[in-house]
Amino acid sequence: MTPETLTPGATGLDQLERLWRTEAPARLDRACRPQVEAAAAAIAAAASGEVPVYGVNTGFGKLASLKIAAKDTATLQRNLILSHCCGVGEATPRDVTRLMMALKLLSLGRGASGVRWELIELIEAMLDRGVTPVVPAQGSVGASGDLAPLAHMTAVMIGAGEAEVSGRILPGAEALASAGLQPIALGPKEGLALINGTQFSTAHALAGLFGAWRAAQGALVTSALSTDAIMGSTAPLQPEIHALRGQPGQIEAAATLRALLEGSAIRESHREGDSRVQDPYCIRCQPQVTGAAMDVLRMAARTLEIEANAATDNPLVLSQAGRIVSGGNFHAEPVGFAADMIALAVSEIGAIAQRRVALMVDPTLSFDLPPFLTPAPGLNSGLMIAEVTTAALMSENKHLATPTVTDSTPTSANQEDHVSMAAHGARRLHRMVANLDAILGVEAMCAAQGVEFRAPLETSAPLVRVIARLRAEVPTIREDRYLAPDIAAATRLIATGALAEAAALPLPAL
């Protein structure tokens, strides 16, 4: 697979998403090398000097006041990595770990970390040859950086820890050797540069963002299908309504829904003589809710794109000023806020989708659809419990959407007395997006079933294509059957984007 060439400070979300989805190798644009090497030279000079420089010739955290002899600086860095490998829990998914490694390349490539070029080359080689460190998912509080997770990544680079190679978990040194690579001995500050950063939190947040956006696109398609299933009105989609408010996501969502429903015979059949004056909010306010969630996701995306390109370790080498300065770029507060924003958006997209599911299975609200969307209610329960499952997932996401960035606690003997909790704030997004995909998968099943009950009237051409794609894997439910595989298949169609793509219409881009 051809490596992605990353430009430090200017790598976009589209490239990062490709890295995550394809697990392609990554390498830095070689134009950054002179600045990287200049910073490394500055650190080497500081290490041989008498002036204390944090993390170069001193201890760490609360122990920063202790001076370390020049002869011990290599041991200092190795000890730092080994002592910080304190992660617990399940292993981080491989695609996220690889994205984290690519983000670390981007950070080091800014030329402010003071590492040798050899470290960058080793990370690139690991990505290229499929050496993926086993990184326990729990243990970071999001300041001073993602210390424990990044230590587990770095441990493999020095021949410790564990890594996955071709599906096998091997000791670090053995994993490197199997790929024709050698462990590296860390120089001054290099261990600190590798573990003091936000790349674990940012990688998880980006993965959550990419999944959430795909789900938002899917929600526009399933909600259009639901609108026709209950014979809802398209009057609330008129562009003038949304222009008067001016919210960009709302305007874009309404335009997409109009395009999806254009030409529906079902819609045309009840423009006149419909006794209903207004649809429930879950139909009428789709642009206002899903569009607002899209705006929030885009705000989070801008933050994460900046963070992905940032130098976030400490201290930083300010080459032009000729100084090495301690700061706080390792604090993952921006990532924590972005993760909370994504969580809120995911929760709300699912909340309104679940209400559409509830609407369709309820014969008192669905405008003459049979109870629970089965042709023979009573003998058959139809989609009764599928709707209950969506309620459970919606409620779970509401709880998971509780902000995490507000939950600070002091650590490291009160030296690190305010932290971001960005790591688990970002990690929960995987579970939340999976829940949302399942809610939307069930909505697609219900809506397709509802539209089919409107025969001989047909929905729009784009939505006919969507139903055909669904039916290729989830047949019409004519009598009760084992539904779990159907829900799983519909969920996959949402998660992969295949259902939305079947509409063959332009969808909003992140």
pLDDT band at 153 (very low <50, low <70, confident <90, very high): very high
Backbone phi and psi for residue 316, each to the nearest 5 degrees, phi listed first: -110, 145
Interval 452-466: pLDDT, tens: 999 999 999 999 999
Known catalytic residue at 54? yes
Q: What's the pLDDT at 48?
A: 84
Q: Alpha-carbon distance 216 to 290, whole Å?
A: 7
Q: Rounded distance, CA 252 to CA 44, Å? A: 53
Render pLDDT for 197-211 as a digit per residue (tens, 0 to 9).
999 999 999 999 999
How many residues belong to the chain?
Answer: 510
Distance CA 390, CA 415 (A): 44
Tens of pLDDT, residue by residue over 272-308, are: 878 788 999 999 999 999 999 999 999 999 999 999 9
Q: Which amino acid is at 401?
A: A
* Residue 104 tokens, joined: 């670390």
The two structure tokens encoding residue 100: 């984290």
* Residue 231: predicted pLDDT: 96
**Residue 258: is its pLDDT beyond 90?**
yes
Paired tokens of 399 = 């709880």
Rounded Cα distance between 264 and 267, Å, is 5
Position 359 scores a pLDDT of: 97
- In 3-state terms the chain splits into helix, strand, coil percentages (rounded to 5) of 55, 5, 35
CB 405 within 8 A of CB 343: no
Q: What is the pLDDT of residues 320-375, one digit of tens each?
A: 898 999 999 999 999 999 999 999 999 999 999 999 999 999 999 999 999 999 99
pLDDT tens readout for residues 403-441:
999 998 888 877 888 999 999 999 999 999 999 999 999
The pLDDT score that the predictor gives to residue 226 is 98
468-497 tens-digit pLDDT: 999 999 999 999 999 999 999 999 999 999
- Cα 231 from Cα 226, distance rounded (Å): 8
298: tokens are 């885009």
The one-letter amino acid at 111 = G
Q: Is 257's pLDDT higher than 70?
A: yes
Q: Is the pLDDT of residue 163 over 90?
A: yes
506 has a pLDDT exceeding 80: yes
Using one digit for the tens of pLDDT, what is the confidence trace for 209-232? 999 999 999 999 999 999 999 999
Taking 70 as the threshold, does the pLDDT of residue 11 lie above it? yes
pTM for this model (two decimals): 0.96
Whether the per-residue pLDDT at 504 is higher than 90: the answer is yes
**Segment (H or E) for 378:** none
Measuring CA to CA, which residue among 10, 339, 305 is closest to residue 201?
A: 339
Give the integer Cα–Cα distance in Å for 85 and 160. 10
What rounded mean pLDDT belongs to the chain? Answer: 95
pLDDT tens sequence across 45-84: 988 888 888 878 877 766 767 777 878 888 889 999 999 9
Residue 289 CA: distances (Å) to CA of 257, 281, 348, 352, 463: 13, 10, 7, 8, 21
Cα–Cα dist 168/43, whole Å: 37
- Position 64 scores a pLDDT of 67
pLDDT value of residue 410: 86
Query: Of the listed 32, 46, 54, 356, which one is catalytic?
Result: 54
